Amino acid sequence: MPITARLVGPPLLEQVVAFPGEVGLAAASMITGGTLARCPTLRIAFSHGGGSLPVLLTRMQHAWDTMAPVRNAMAVSPTAAAGAIWFDDLVYDGPAIVNLLRMFGDTRLMIGTDYPFAIMDRDPVGRIDALDVSEATRERLRRGNALAWLGRGSD
């Protein structure tokens, strides 16, 4: 059943709740299904800061650390596998972007807008510029990481 069939409220909530929920599940499935381990050169990017993945990842890592069936099903830890994923920074909040930087580092995160959807960030560059991070990190978020993801810059 699609998440929109279970979501109560106005249709615009699909952009607010459903998109990041589905993105997080897709990203988690890339990790738990072994796709990233089997395809080490795959460059895949997930929108909405990975959606719910940042919360799921800590749970997945705990399960991998403490539950043999989970660990046996995955060649590498969820945290290590997530290091191969790219994300946009579309979370609408500076501290949330800083958390993404803490979790995933500053070489796998890039600017996101959600254009042309109604919920789009109307000043994504301003949001990055307001972060308390180095200018080098700002440049990677604004441009460098996207170029690297496209294979047109350093990775």
Residue ranges covered by each domain of the chain: 3-31+43-149
3-class DSSP assignment, residue 106: coil
Q: What is the pLDDT of residue 154?
A: 61
* pLDDT in the model for residue 71: 96
Q: What is the pLDDT of residue 144?
A: 97
Which amino acid is it at 92? Y
Distances, alpha carbon 9 to alpha carbons 13, 106, 116, 118, in Å? 7, 36, 22, 16
* Rounded alpha-carbon distances, angstroms, from residue 96 to 54, 115, 149: 10, 20, 22
Task: Give me the CATH code for the 3-31+43-149 domain, please.
Answer: 3.20.20.140
| Cα distance between residue 122 and residue 74, in whole Å | 39
- Whether 24 contacts 60, CB under 8 Å: no
Listed in sequence order, the residues at least 6 apart from 117 whose beta carbon sits closer than 8 Å to its beta carbon are 15
Report DSSP state, residue 150.
Answer: T
Mean pLDDT value across residues 81-102:
96
| Mean pLDDT (the chain, rounded) | 93
3 compared with 88, residue with greater pLDDT = 88
Total Cβ atoms within 10 A of residue 130: 12
pTM score, two decimals? Answer: 0.89
Residues 50-89 pLDDT 10s? 999 999 999 999 999 999 999 999 989 999 999 999 999 9
* pLDDT tens digits, 124-151: 999 999 999 999 999 999 999 999 999 9
